[in-house]
Structure 1
Amino acid sequence: MKEAVSQSLFTYWNDLRGDRSAPRRFEIEPSAIAQQLPDTFILERVDYATMRFRLAGTRISEAFGMDLRGKNLFGLFSEEDSSILQRQMSLITSQAAVGVFEISASDGQGRSASFEITILPLMHTREVVERYLGSVAPINRPQWLGLVPLTHRSLVRHKLIWPDGAVRSEIENLDRQTPFYPTVREARIVKSARRQFRVYEGGLSRLNTDR
């Protein structure tokens, strides 16, 4: 995570969860992340192919030129990128990993901007992950950002962060040129103030209230 918004939201989520795999949805206090709220969103898992935005901050909607509420996350990307996102979200859901994604979004007329998206798992009414707290942070902020709709979106790179002690499995970081063949990359260790994480890189072109 490179962007301040991502780091702040992750720290809040990590402190809130304590020794659990993920905090509960109702534990999220908007006042505690007031400065990040315009850049945050809540996703709801409907099924494997549908991750619906329940809430999306004003700066997110302004940056992309549309209201994301009610939209399917996977429907915002190409079939290839959607397939990768579905696989990554499946691991975030089943193993309470944290997803960090870099995307490029353009207006189709030569103007483009890069964003860092962080997705953090949340428990809801059952002992399973069904909600997700996330943020969208521009990596570069061109002067025209927010003035034109960004209608074309593509996945640039992705990684999963595994809190120490979580269940681990083979990581499906897919090669973008051969999307049906998973590849496992070397892991590196990242330490936070509270605990240690194992990070798997994805590679460049290789790849209030809903209670």
Structure 2
Amino acid sequence: MRNQASRAIFDYWVNLKQDGAAPLKTEIDPAALRHLLPHLFMAAMDPAGTVAFRLAGTRICDLFDREFRGKAFADLWLQTDYRQPVEIAHNVIHSQQPALLDVLASNGHIRHAYEMLLLPIRSVETAASDRIFGALLPRLSPYPVAATPVAFLTLENWTFLTGSGSHFGVPVTGDHRSFSDRPDRLPAGRPPS
């Protein structure tokens, strides 16, 4: 993780996950992450398997110049590049394993490096993960305001995070296996708009 804020969010999630299960959404205290709230989002999977935003921070909405609440996670991505990010989101939820995505935010001409953190959480009424607590943060510097709005994201690289230790500076190991090598691979299709 290049952005220390991403690491702080990951550490916060790891500390909530002390018993090994995905944390409950009610355990997330907005006050603990108040300075990062504009970069955070929550998404949930509906019975049809569509991952959609429940909440999206103001920096995310301002970056794209649109509201994401109720919109499909697939809508963030270039139309020809949504399948793998959606499949990653499905796997984060079903395997309860966090992921870090290196993405490029683009207006069609200018591309800028961001990282997206996807952390599994669960609602009170389920024992298994059914939601994602996520963040979208610039890797090094924010997208130039003069070039906004961003039209879409493209996936550059990704990894499942397998590190369980908290604290800044502790290496986070990754699982770069392709989905076809993973037994928990799920099919992903673009949800209807």
**Given the two structures, how large is their TM-score scaled by the length of structure 2?**
0.80
For residues 56-205 of structure 1, the aligned pairs below 5 Å read 56-78=56-78, 80-108=80-108, 110-124=109-123, 125-141=125-141, 144-145=144-145, 148-162=148-162, 192-193=166-167, 198-201=173-176
Q: Tell me what 2:41 maps to.
A: 41
User: How many angstroms does 1:96 deviate by?
Assistant: 0.8
Residue type matched to 1:159 in 2? T
Higher strand share: 1
Contact (CA 8 Å) 1:97, 1:163: kept in 2 or not?
Answer: no
Q: Tell me what 1:184 maps to.
A: none
Residue type matched to 1:28 in 2? I
User: How many angstroms does 1:18 deviate by?
Assistant: 0.5
Q: Number of aligned pairs?
A: 176
| Cα deviations by residue, 1:87-119 (Å, 9 ceiling, x for unpaired) | 2222211221001111112112x2221210001
> Greater shift after overlay, 117-126 or 86-95?
86-95
Cα distance change on mapping 1:128 and 1:95 into 2, 3 Å: same
Rg comparison, structure with higher value:
1
| Cα deviations by residue, 1:36-65 (Å, 9 ceiling, x for unpaired) | 111111111115652111111111111222
Contact (CA 8 Å) 1:61, 1:68: kept in 2 or not?
Answer: yes
Cα distance change on mapping 1:153 and 1:80 into 2, 3 Å: same
Q: Tell me what 2:185 maps to.
A: none
Contact (CA 8 Å) 2:101, 2:115: kept in 1 or not?
Answer: yes
Q: CA RMSD in A?
A: 2.6
Residue type matched to 2:119 in 1? L
Residue type matched to 2:115 in 1? E
Contact (CA 8 Å) 1:42, 1:131: kept in 2 or not?
Answer: yes
Contact (CA 8 Å) 2:22, 2:128: kept in 1 or not?
Answer: no
CA distance in 1, matches of 2:11, 2:117: 12
Cα distance change on mapping 1:154 and 1:202 into 2, 3 Å: farther
Cα distance change on mapping 1:152 and 1:87 into 2, 3 Å: closer
CA distance in 2, matches of 1:111, 1:126: 42
CA distance in 2, matches of 1:146, 1:66: 16
Higher helix share: 2
Residue type matched to 1:53 in 2? F
Where does the alignment leave 5 or more consecutive residues of structure 2 unmatched?
Answer: 179-193
CA distance in 2, matches of 1:112, 1:67: 21
Q: Which runs of 4 or more aligned residues in structure 1 lie more than 6 Å from their structure 2 counterparts after TM superposition?
A: none
- Higher relative contact order, structure no. (Cα contacts within 8 Å, ≥ 6 residues apart): 2
CA distance in 2, matches of 1:143, 1:6: 17
Cα distance change on mapping 1:143 and 1:82 into 2, 3 Å: closer
CA distance in 2, matches of 1:98, 1:33: 18
